[in-house]
């Protein structure tokens, strides 16, 4: 229970379905372990979130516990997030937090406590059948969170209940208001919970020596024309327009590639951001097995993506090649790519690189 309205109502719905419920809030970090200049806690790790979750548990009459998972979070989410940017790729920390912490670390502890399932307030569905479980989209297209759950193993999903999958956000707000839950009118947090300011400043505070070694570099066009200097490639991501400080009258310019080894940021026109496909690695086949031949699917390359038709087929070294039916904008290494078969999450992976042609 994060201290938000979704997990609060999830606990209520489970009670109504006859489950024995306890509330678990995760203590994931504090600034002393992840940044040099503390600015106060925020997001899902703010102590007020724990207080709100405990208050809701008291309202509905269930026990509340706090699990200290700071080490799991640091090792599985925070450190990989930092290293990803310093390696010139754009990470997806919420995906790691789900698979490595909210499921990976909580499930064994729940089993030790004698519980059969864990449940969250995610808007997605788990369908159980003779062939095991399938992870499917939530019924509310505006809130569907199946994209962020692709890395969770099928074995973990078998021990999971997602009570909000058939609900809309409006319904959840109404249920919370009718029950006068403390969290009924709480706003949602959209930022990375452990970043105190900007991730650029965060990295500069945490890795001053490494960033000094990285140094400044060139900003050049795809044709090799010099357009300026950058103060650290880690400050940029594919598709970025702001902060380039290019005023040659020919723009606008967008970041089309980050070249870590040559310490260059490549820029170009908007149309140069479109790519016909991608290569994915670190694959997880969630609801169905890996295909033996090219298969059609629907692919999402970012959280708010509506999904596009594509063809996927395995290639060497456990990777997947995906070809879009029409070129897609800003294919970003380090981000998640998720492929669907109908409503079901067929599988997912991390984007290794875009296919240029």
Return the active site residues.
97, 193
d(C-alpha 91, C-alpha 350), whole Å: 9
Strands 226-230 and 217-221: antiparallel
Residues β-bridged to residue 297: 310
Secondary structure letter of residue 248 according to DSSP: S
Of 42, 35, 103, the residue nearest 72 (C-alpha): 103
In sequence order, the 6+-apart residues with CB closer than 8 A to the CB of 75 are none
Roughly how many angstroms between the first and final C-alpha of the chain, as a whole number?
Answer: 45
> How much of the chain is helix, strand and coil, in % rounded to 5?
30, 30, 40
Cβ distance 333 to 275 under 8 Å? no
Rg of the Cα atoms in the chain? 22
Of 288, 214, 300, residue with least CA distance to 258:
214
């Amino acid at each position: 229970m994060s201290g938000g309205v979704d997990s609060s109502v999830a606990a209520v719905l489970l009670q109504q379905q006859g489950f024995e419920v306890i509330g678990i809030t995760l203590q994931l970090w504090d600034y002393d372990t992840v940044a040099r200049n503390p600015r106060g806690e925020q997001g899902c790790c703010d102590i007020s979130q724990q207080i709100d979750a405990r208050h809701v548990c008291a309202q509905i009459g269930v026990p509340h516990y706090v699990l200290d998972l700071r080490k799991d979070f640091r090792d599985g989410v925070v450190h990989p997030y930092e290293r990803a940017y310093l390696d010139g790729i754009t990470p997806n920390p919420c995906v790691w937090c789900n698979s490595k912490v909210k499921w990976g670390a909580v499930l064994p502890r729940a089993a030790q406590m004698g519980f059969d399932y864990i449940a969250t307030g995610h808007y997605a569905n788990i369908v159980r059948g003779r062939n095991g479980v399938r992870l499917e989209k939530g019924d509310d297209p505006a809130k569907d969170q199946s994209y962020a759950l692709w890395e969770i193993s099928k074995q973990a999903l078998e021990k999971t209940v997602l009570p909000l999958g058939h609900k809309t956000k409006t319904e959840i707000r109404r249920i919370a208001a009718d029950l006068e839950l403390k969290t009924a009118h709480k706003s949602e947090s959209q930022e990375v919970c452990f970043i105190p300011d900007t991730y650029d400043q965060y990295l500069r505070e945490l890795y001053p020596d490494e960033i000094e070694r990285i140094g400044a570099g060139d900003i050049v066009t795809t044709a090799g024309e010099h357009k300026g200097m950058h103060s650290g490639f880690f400050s940029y991501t594919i598709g970025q327009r702001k902060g380039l400080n290019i005023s040659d009258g020919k723009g606008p310019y967008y970041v089309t590639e980050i070249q870590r080894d040559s310490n260059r940021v490549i820029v170009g026109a908007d149309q140069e951001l479109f790519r016909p496909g991608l290569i994915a690695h670190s694959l997880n086949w969630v609801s169905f097995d890996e295909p033996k031949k090219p298969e059609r699917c629907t692919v999402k390359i970012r959280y708010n993506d509506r999904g596009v038709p594509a063809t996927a087929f395995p290639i060497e070294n456990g990777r997947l090649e995906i070809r879009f039916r029409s070129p897609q904008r800003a294919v970003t290494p380090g981000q998640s790519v998720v492929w669907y078969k109908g409503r079901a999450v067929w599988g997912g992976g991390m984007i290794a690189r875009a296919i240029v042609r």
